[in-house]
Structure 1
Amino acid sequence: MTTRTLAGRRALVVGGTTGIGRGIADAWAAAGADVVVCGRSRPTGPGASALRWERLDLTDTDGAGAMLGRIAGARLDLACFSAVSYGDRRAGFDDVAVGEWRTQLDINVHGLWLTLKAALPRLRAAGPGLFLGVSSEVVYNAGPGRSGYTASKAAAKALLDSVAQEEDENRVRIVQVLPAGMVDSPGIRRRRPLDFDYSSYMVPADFARVAVDLAVTAGSGHHGDSLVVDSGGDWWSVTERLPVSQSRPVRT
């Protein structure tokens, strides 16, 4: 039987302060990994003391690459990219400022590119290492009011799909995960009314099981795959069933 411990493994989670990335970071740390999380704010709350934090701002495109190279260090077994810019709110194309669009590209696409550049050499040396990308249902469904988010997340998926086809899975495995529904997170809460009911939303901890399942096997059998994670932690490949759209009409 495959052991569930990650003791002795070193992990990096970019965008691991909150949200899905935090759920993955907490799961890896609870399983024994040495986890470094990167983000603009320090992780807080239960489990934060088990994480090492490095401040990273992916909109600083000149300095972020060098910073990621330093943070990745000389050894890395697991890496996750979960940083994301949703935009200020759901809005039609004409109502989105160019600055918001550029931020989405800087974080969702260029940030991923920089993370891959820093992490892949170390993950190959782990023989094999795991690179986990956090994707979105918009990649498959698009939808009104999310053009920048959709385009940047689709580009991120295509980038990881392409790199997965280049990589020898005996050296590094690339897997993507995405939520089946909306996830309760600080980023989402900033975009909702104060009295919003989150009882139907997923939580970051729903990603714990898939994160550990993939980590203990370094993604064996799932290289190049995208896995949809449901509330409670069940998951399946997009080759079996595509995620349901979370789009809704844009208020005018």
Structure 2
Amino acid sequence: MDMRMRGRRVLVTGAAGGIGRAAARAFAGEGAHVAVTDRDAAALAALVAELRAAGVAASRHPADITVEADVAAAVAAAAAELGGLDAVVACAGISGPVGTMLAETWTTKWDAVFDVNVRGVFLVLRAAIPVLRAAGGGDVVVVASDSALVAAPGMAPYCASKAAVLQLARAAAVELADDGIRVNAVCPSIVDTPMSRGDLGIDRDDTAGFAGAAYAVQTADEVAAQLVFLASPVSRPVNGAALVSDFGYSARSSFPA
């Protein structure tokens, strides 16, 4: 299917690794012009060099997603370099204290998760709105999680933050519909990324990875394809939606049949 992304201008946050890097490559592969941001300047430089070597129009804008001035500057610079923005894809996120029960969770750890996962998405979205309006509309896709809908012990900050991200996307979709701006969310289950490997005690360089795990795991490239679909004109009627990609886990009943 032609995603009709050729020549569209896309900003990807959290692009230094994991889902964000896969997303930048996926949009580039569809012919989009890509701007990337992350606090890891060296990884951004390597990614942009890779994209440009493949003939892709790409630019990098290092920023800390939790710092208002950084986010505003990165969005403005990306729009200036690409001549505007047609889509913004918010991938930056952290897992926080996985395995720590709520009663033992420090306030600083809770705040750190919300700063990146919720405040970061809010700052990016707010900075992007006037740029997307200037383009006559556009698309925003945020990376939430199936943890916005189901919960596991020891992940309260992450679950709560992703639920907030999902509801922020819905609220923004309602507010911005008349501007021609769509806002959707992807809610994947476990994704094979350096972050999830670290959370689950798997070496990031282990080629076996999640092989043999008792649960289904998707790749960052699979999530990136979901992001491309939701940011593309192909999905024009879809707005305020949560694309849950969890291998059907949340659809299962606990009824013992």
Question: Helix, strand or coil for the counterpart of 2:192?
Answer: coil
Question: Helix, strand or coil for the counterpart of 2:99?
Answer: coil
Q: How far is the alpha carbon of 1:86 from its aligned partner? A: 0.6
Structure 1 alignment gaps of length 5 or more:
232-240, 246-252
Alignment of 1:234-249 (within 5 A): 243=250
Q: Residue 131 of structure 2: which of 122, 127, 131 is its match?
A: 122
Q: What is residue 250 of structure 1 aligned with on the other side?
A: none
Q: How far is the alpha carbon of 1:6 from its aligned partner? A: 2.3
- Equivalent residues of 1:68, 1:118 under 8 A apart: no
Q: What is residue 214 of structure 1 aligned with on the other side?
A: 230
Question: Helix, strand or coil for the counterpart of 1:158?
Answer: helix
* 1:88–1:145 Cα change, 3 Å: closer
Q: Residue 198 of structure 1: which of 201, 210, 231 is its match?
A: 210
Q: How far is the alpha carbon of 1:43 from its aligned partner? A: 4.1
Q: How far is the alpha carbon of 1:22 from its aligned partner? A: 2.0
* 1:215–1:66 Cα change, 3 Å: closer
Question: Helix, strand or coil for the counterpart of 1:243?
Answer: helix
Residue type of the alignment partner of 2:142: G
Residue type of the alignment partner of 1:198: F
| Alpha-carbon distance in 1 for matches of 2:198, 2:121 | 23
Q: What is residue 58 of structure 1 aligned with on the other side?
A: 65
- Aligned pair count reads 233
Calculate percent identity across the aligned residue pairs: 32
Structure 2 alignment gaps of length 5 or more:
52-57, 253-257
Q: 2:10 matched to 1:17? A: no
| Alpha-carbon distance in 2 for matches of 1:98, 1:190 | 22
| Alpha-carbon distance in 2 for matches of 1:140, 1:18 | 25
Q: How far is the alpha carbon of 1:46 from its aligned partner? A: 8.0
Question: Helix, strand or coil for the counterpart of 2:250?
Answer: coil
Residue type of the alignment partner of 1:101: W
* 1:208–1:146 Cα change, 3 Å: closer
Normalising by structure 2, report the TM-score.
Answer: 0.80
Q: What is residue 248 of structure 1 aligned with on the other side?
A: none
Q: 2:79 matched to 1:80? A: no
1:35-60 CA deviation, whole Å, 9 max, x = no partner?
Answer: 1111122248888611532211124x
* 1:48–1:242 Cα change, 3 Å: farther
* 1:176–1:32 Cα change, 3 Å: same
Q: How far is the alpha carbon of 1:8 from its aligned partner? A: 1.9
| Alpha-carbon distance in 1 for matches of 2:227, 2:68 | 31
- Equivalent residues of 1:8, 1:32 under 8 A apart: yes
Question: Helix, strand or coil for the counterpart of 1:40?
Answer: coil
Cα RMSD for the two superposed structures: 2.7
| Alpha-carbon distance in 2 for matches of 1:28, 1:215 | 9
Q: What is residue 235 of structure 1 aligned with on the other side?
A: none
Question: Helix, strand or coil for the counterpart of 1:73?
Answer: helix
Question: Helix, strand or coil for the counterpart of 1:141?
Answer: coil
Alignment of 1:142-181 (within 5 A): 142-168=151-177, 171-179=180-188, 181=189
* 1:65–1:56 Cα change, 3 Å: closer
Q: How far is the alpha carbon of 1:244 from its aligned partner? A: 6.4
- Equivalent residues of 2:64, 2:71 under 8 A apart: no
Q: What is residue 134 of structure 1 aligned with on the other side?
A: 143
| Alpha-carbon distance in 2 for matches of 1:13, 1:46 | 12
